[in-house]
Amino acid sequence: MTELKLLPVPTRILTEKDDIIEAIVQFGGDQIGPEDIVCVAESVVAITQGRMTRPEELTPSWQARLLCRFIPADGSMSSVYGMQAAMELEGKWKTMFAFLAGAVAKLFKKNGVFYQLARQASLTDDVTGTMPPFDKHIVYGPKNPNAVAEKIVQRTGCYGAVVADVNDLKRSAVLGASRGMNPNKIAKILIDNPFGNDSQMTPIVIIKNYASVSRSSR
């Protein structure tokens, strides 16, 4: 019986000089089949797009200094530089509005509104959340992740592709997907974080046999 298999793909350190599509072909192309889904870590996609900055390049605003005080310490937005980085793309007043809306929503026991309204706040990784040698950088969310996923399919001939944001705290989300994919279903498959963005250097994961398993389960 055909079963799903998660296959992490080792790479070298990928930088802004790399093309993520060509890197997937170079390091995993011979292992990708027409029944498979190619998953790539969102931080690596963003890095290859040059979507990053260093804290010293930012000037924190009073809005960033204020809001970061209310964010739990394990979040990227608890850093004044992480918050400022998100504001650079989202807009400081929009971020302020999103925070206030989120605070009101919490009174009604609805969580996550801040991050839903201020998407860059949820996508930005502070300096402690990024793999070396980019652990001194703040990394923004990837640009056009759906388009990236479509290009992966076109280039590799795989069944589908996703750009995923997964961590070791059982948080898994698909930020971009090729046509026909079920983001929630794929996020659940990746929930145990098969990616290795640090010394493992496996930012690409192939979900083997996805299409055939899906057909047999109908």
* 149-190 per-position pLDDT tens digit: 999 999 999 999 999 988 777 788 899 999 999 999 999 999
Whether cis (ω within 30° of 0) applies to the bond prior to 194 is no
- Three-state DSSP at 163 gives strand
The residues facing 40 across adjacent strands are 163, 204
Report pLDDT for 188.
Answer: 93
The residues facing 198 across adjacent strands are none
Report pLDDT for 200.
Answer: 56
Which tens digits make up the pLDDT trace of 92-149?
A: 999 999 999 999 998 888 888 998 888 888 888 877 555 667 777 888 889 999 999 9
- In this structure, what token pair is assigned to residue 3? 């079963």
Domain ranges of the chain: 5-51+142-217, 52-139
Mean pLDDT of the chain: 88
Report pLDDT for 201.
Answer: 78
Radius of gyration of the chain (CA): 18
Q: How much is the pTM?
A: 0.85
Residue 199 clears pLDDT 60, i.e. is over it:
no
Mean pLDDT of 1-7: 84
Smallest CA-to-CA distance from 12 within 207, 42, 22, 36 is with 22
Would you place residue 3 in the very low, low, confident or very high pLDDT band (cuts 50, 70, 90)? confident
Burial of 100 (0-12, 13-18, 19+ CB in 10 A): middle
Residue 94: CB atoms within 10 Å? 14
Does residue 199 contact residue 9 with C-beta atoms inside 8 Å?
Answer: no
How far apart CA 183 and CA 31 sit, in angstroms, is: 22
Residue 1 clears pLDDT 70, i.e. is over it:
no
Smallest CA-to-CA distance from 73 within 129, 114, 117 is with 129
CATH homologous superfamily of 5-51+142-217: CofE-like (3.30.1330.100)
